[in-house]
A and B are shown apart, each in its own frame.
Chain A
Amino acid sequence: MKISNSEIGNAAWDARVKLTPGEVEHLLDCSQKILQELNLVQKDNLDSIKATFFGHEQPGSLREDIITDSLPLAKVLANSLYADEFCFHVPKIIEE
């Protein structure tokens, strides 16, 4: 399967980053290479194998909800450069 320039462009949009033409070219080359190697790996029939998503399964690993106090508002907002004492500020959401 070949990766196209536009697929890289779409993926960059999904990742919310802008790539330079040089970065696109390099990424295209690298992606192609790694996906080709993976294709070789896939000569082994993997369809019947169950996927592993964690190193080891921990059944029932989700704990009960514990209700705790929220962080104080001042602490929550302290790391944003664009906030007043109540909320974060962002540019307008509806584009012109």
Chain B
Amino acid sequence: MDFYKIPSQKLAGQVREDPALLDEIFAMLSHFHNEVEDLNIFILFDPENIQKEMTFLKEKIAKGKSLSLAGVPVSLEDNICTENIATTCGSKMLSTYKPPFNSWASEKLQEAGAILAGKTNLEEFGVGCRGNSSFYGAAKNPWDQQRIAGKGAAAAVSTLMLPLSIATDTIGELRQAASYCGVIGFRPTYGRVSRRGVIEYASSMAQLGIISRKTSDLAAALEIISGPDPQDPTSLKGEVPSYRASLQNEEKVFKIAVPDNWDQAPGMEKDVKECFLEQLHNLTAGRVQVEYIPLRYFHKAYLAAAVISAAEAFSNLANYDGVRFGYRGEGKSLQDMYIKSRSEGFSSKLKQFLTFGALVSSGKHYEDYFLKSQRMRTRIKNELADCLERYDLLLTPTTPFTAPLAKPDTEPDQLADPALFYTAAASLAGLPALTFPLYTSVKRPAGLQFMGKAGDEASLLQISALLEERGISLSFPNPGSIK
């Protein structure tokens, strides 16, 4: 059975009817994993654990439990805690860490009958998307192995191995990776999905998101992992809308705004620009109206986000000192041990990022840089709110370029990465955003990024479904041809 061709809900129905299908799913996962092993997608792929979960699931099905994702294989990024299963954050610092608790997302997926297929590779602690800081090496792009995937989660879905991956999106890393790998990437409104058990580096922006090839799969997974969590005070209160039902709205007319200076990103590739313009032209028909609007502050978001995220990371990652968990360097005194543990346990990139965070949090620079970045954030947030009062969605490219070539670990990064140019604003303002795949003339994927009003995930899912219906989607790389 080619289970990767079947929508998740349908697959779950078939598994509930005939739990023996789980054996086929297991065989298929093992086959796929062998095929894509060179891509370095997973930090942990544990067939024994998959089989254990499948046995447990069979028992639950036999008891007649209602399981909307029964047997659907899903991956979690390796910064999402899974009880007694290694959660490394792609860092030497946590290479031996096994959390004593589960995250909200893994609990919810387990309750729905999903199978944890593995823990996916990521940049160290999820910082950035440049493929040069994971202790386990970079995840490679299934479309071109010389290029980065950005996140193993996006590559896992792009290769057809999995229908769904859950990963973090802080300043847009999930959307960037989805764009590089030619899949749909979705970041819900800040607080829509509890962050309990997620090891994040910038709490005011981090959010769990979903990567998928089908809008219907995305909607089903979002319903499962959304909802108020009393243990996460930032999680949104109130009932979770039926996202699957919202996909039935086939009459809605979309009024979409595009910033008139959308092509001003540093390092903008000609192909991405042309491809975006072409899709803009194709979009403007029937139920979609597009208008250019001036946005004065949007393009400054990536600078403000770089400062704010570094300051938050400096604070959030302060507890990795080698005492309670993680890597420990030998030191003569406690201070010496802290410094050795962190200097040997973190990558060069992360050390610099944390130092920058300390710099902008210092008494001398706090007012001028950190506080002013937060004030700029207010302007960006107000500007977006004003725009989304008048329009249903705001549209830009997802990244200024297609997947970058992998660079050596030693090559330094920029602190304000131009890859964040389009994605940072939604993160600063806590808005939901979705990237939908495009195909450039150089046969590499890019993305259309839609941003919606806070709490209005439905409009994003509806536009994604409309684009799917119009056939603006990619032919995914053939898993057999990856090696």
Tell me the count of chain A residues lying within 8 A, CB to CB, of chain B. Answer: 58
Q: In the complex, what residues of B have CB within 8 A of residue A44's CB?
A: 376, 379
| Number of CB contacts from chain A to chain B under 8 A | 190
Q: In the complex, what residues of B have CB within 8 A of residue A15's CB?
A: 314, 342, 351, 354-355, 357-358
A17 touches B355 (CB 8 A): yes
| A17-B339, A42-B372 as given contacts; A92 in contact with B416, CB under 8 Å | no
Give the residue among B97, B304, B331, B412 with the most A Cβ atoms within 10 A: B412
B358 touches A79 (CB 8 A): no
A 68-92 to B, binary, CB cutoff 8 A, 1 in contact else 0: 0001000110111110000010111
Q: In the complex, what residues of A have CB within 8 A of residue B355's CB?
A: 8, 11-12, 15, 17, 19, 27
Q: In the complex, what residues of A have CB within 8 A of residue B147's CB?
A: none
Q: In the complex, what residues of B have CB within 8 A of residue A42's CB?
A: 368, 372
The interface residues of chain A, by DSSP majority, are classed as loop
B358 touches A14 (CB 8 A): yes
Report the separation of the CA atoms of residues A10 and B360 in the bound assembly, to the nearest whole angstrom: 12
Report the separation of the CA atoms of residues A49 and B415 in the bound assembly, to the nearest whole angstrom: 25
| A55-B429, A95-B333 as given contacts; A18 in contact with B234, CB under 8 Å | no
A16 touches B359 (CB 8 A): no
Q: B471 at the A/B interface (Cβ < 8 Å)?
A: no
Q: In the complex, what residues of A have CB within 8 A of residue B9's CB?
A: none
Nearest opposing residue in chain A for B379, CB measure: A49
Report the separation of the CA atoms of residues A47 and B376 in the bound assembly, to the nearest whole angstrom: 10
Interface residue stretch chosen among B148-156, B275-283, B317-325, B457-465 = B317-325
Q: Which residues of B contact A (CB under 8 A)?
A: 96-98, 100-101, 189-191, 204-205, 230, 233-234, 300, 303-304, 306-307, 314, 318, 321, 323-326, 328, 331-340, 342-343, 346, 348, 351-352, 354-359, 361-362, 364-365, 368-369, 371-379, 381, 412, 414-416, 427-431, 454
A7 touches B191 (CB 8 A): no
Q: In the complex, what residues of A have CB within 8 A of residue B375's CB?
A: 46-47, 49-52
| Cβ-closest 9 pairs across A and B | A55-B430, A51-B374, A79-B325, A55-B190, A11-B358, A11-B359, A14-B358, A46-B375, A75-B100
A48 to chain B, nearest CB (A): 9
A58 touches B358 (CB 8 A): no
B378 touches A49 (CB 8 A): yes
Q: Which residues of A contact B (CB under 8 A)?
A: 1, 3, 7-8, 10-12, 14-20, 23, 26-27, 30-31, 33-35, 37-38, 41-42, 44, 46-47, 49-56, 58, 61-63, 66, 71, 75-76, 78-82, 88, 90-96
Q: In the complex, what residues of A have CB within 8 A of residue B376's CB?
A: 41, 44, 46
Q: In the complex, what residues of A have CB within 8 A of residue B373's CB?
A: 38
| A23-B351, A30-B415, A38-B307 as given contacts; A16 in contact with B100, CB under 8 Å | no
| A18-B339, A55-B205, A56-B430 as given contacts; A7 in contact with B359, CB under 8 Å | yes
A11 touches B356 (CB 8 A): yes
Report the separation of the CA atoms of residues A42 and B340 in the bound assembly, to the nearest whole angstrom: 38
A31 touches B359 (CB 8 A): yes
Nearest opposing residue in chain A for B325, CB measure: A79
Known A12-B358, A30-B414, A56-B189; further 15 A-B contacts with Cβ < 8 A: A11-B356, A11-B359, A15-B354, A15-B355, A18-B351, A19-B352, A34-B416, A41-B304, A42-B368, A42-B372, A49-B379, A52-B378, A61-B233, A80-B323, A95-B336
